[in-house]
Amino acid sequence: MVMNKSVAEFILLGLTQDAGKQKAIFGIFLILYLATLLGNFLIVVTIKASQTLGSPMYFFLFYLSFADACFSTTTAPRLIVDSLAQKKTISYHECMTQVFAAHFFGCMEIFVLILMAFDRYVAICKPLRYMAIMSRRVCTALVIVAWVGSCIHSSAQVFLALRLPFCGPNVIDHYFCDLQPLLKLACMDTYNINLLVVSNSGAICMVCFIILFISYIVILYSLKNHSIEGRRKALSTCTAHFIVVVMFFVPCIFMYTRPLTTFPVDKMVAVFYTIGTPLLNPLIYTLRNAEVKTAMRKLWCSKRNSVDE
């Protein structure tokens, strides 16, 4: 049952109240956001257009880049616009929508990272059965399961948020709507709801990180039977994946696996996993991946030649 609310809108304090710093935030994060969209868009277009990037790994990378772009879009535009606004307000319904979207695409990124780790495990540990196990039908089914799981998770988060009654303070000490800052404004005992948040978001982050960590240990152990060249290529790919995993999961675990307490660094940690990680992912996967760089060059050259003709 959804409880009644008396607050029609919230005020977001953003990253800072300093007018000079807000102008700097506008310029810096506008550039970062545009770079995030450009980087992930290039990966999406390259994988879609290239015939050489048809393996399951790039099939999952396509969805990771899509989730990255959408995840950043749930928070960055609001932060950019609010940095120049006199009154940083967000309506109740917009706030609930942002909670849903942020958790949906954030959870989607977590599940796709697990699928990418599973793909690398099969490719390295069961190479002879790789194409049979990771068929296009299986990969598509796994992505659908990831979408459904993300929807269930984000729906649960919104359900908890909708049950919170707001009857007074409406100032959110954050730059976007999330359950932790909303719990501080609710005029009720939020201890049980906070436990549900930790058991939902926190458990997903921690369990998935442990699964990924164990999977990479198994992969590294299996590499001892490969040739030197095979080990080098596998290590290069797995290193890129593991860097992304650490950058995304460590901040999320810090935010969602602790009791309802706030720290001065919370907003900067949130910036890192909502805006920083989606920006760095394309750089990691392109700079460390010769196949993606080659496909991008071919795509760019073909487009340029078609324009010249």
Q: How far apart are CA 201 and CA 198, in angstroms?
A: 6
Segments in the chain below pLDDT 50: 1-4
Single-letter code of the amino acid located at 209: F
Residue 303's pLDDT is what? 62
Domain spans in the chain, listed from the N-terminal domain onward: 9-293
Q: Which two tokens stand for residue 179?
A: 């359950």
Q: Do 82 and 4 form a contact (C-beta atoms < 8 A)?
A: no
Q: How far, in Å, CA of 70 to CA of 73, rounded?
A: 5
State how far the alpha carbon of 16 is from the alpha carbons of 13, 23, 197, 278, in Å.
7, 10, 27, 22
Picking from 215, 56, 241, the residue whose alpha carbon sits closest to that of residue 134 is 56
| Structure confidence at residue 1 (pLDDT) | 42
The pLDDT of residue 6: 73
Long-range CB contact pairs, 42-51, < 8 A, 24+: 42/282, 42/286, 42/296, 43/282, 43/285, 43/286, 43/292, 44/69, 45/299, 46/292, 46/295, 46/296, 46/299, 47/295, 49/299, 50/295, 50/298, 50/299
Confidence (pLDDT) at 93: 93
Architecture of domain 9-293: Up-down Bundle (1.20)
Burial 162-194 (b: 16+ CB within 10 A, else e): eebebeeebebebbbbbbbbbbebbeeebeebb
Amino acid at 250: V
Other C-beta atoms within 10 Å of 62: how many? 20
In this prediction, residue 29 carries a pLDDT of 95
Q: How far is CA 45 from CA 26, 51, 167, 277, in A?
A: 28, 12, 47, 20
Residue-wise pLDDT tens digits, 17-76: 888 888 899 999 999 999 999 999 999 988 888 878 888 989 999 999 999 999 999 999
pTM to 2 decimal places: 0.89
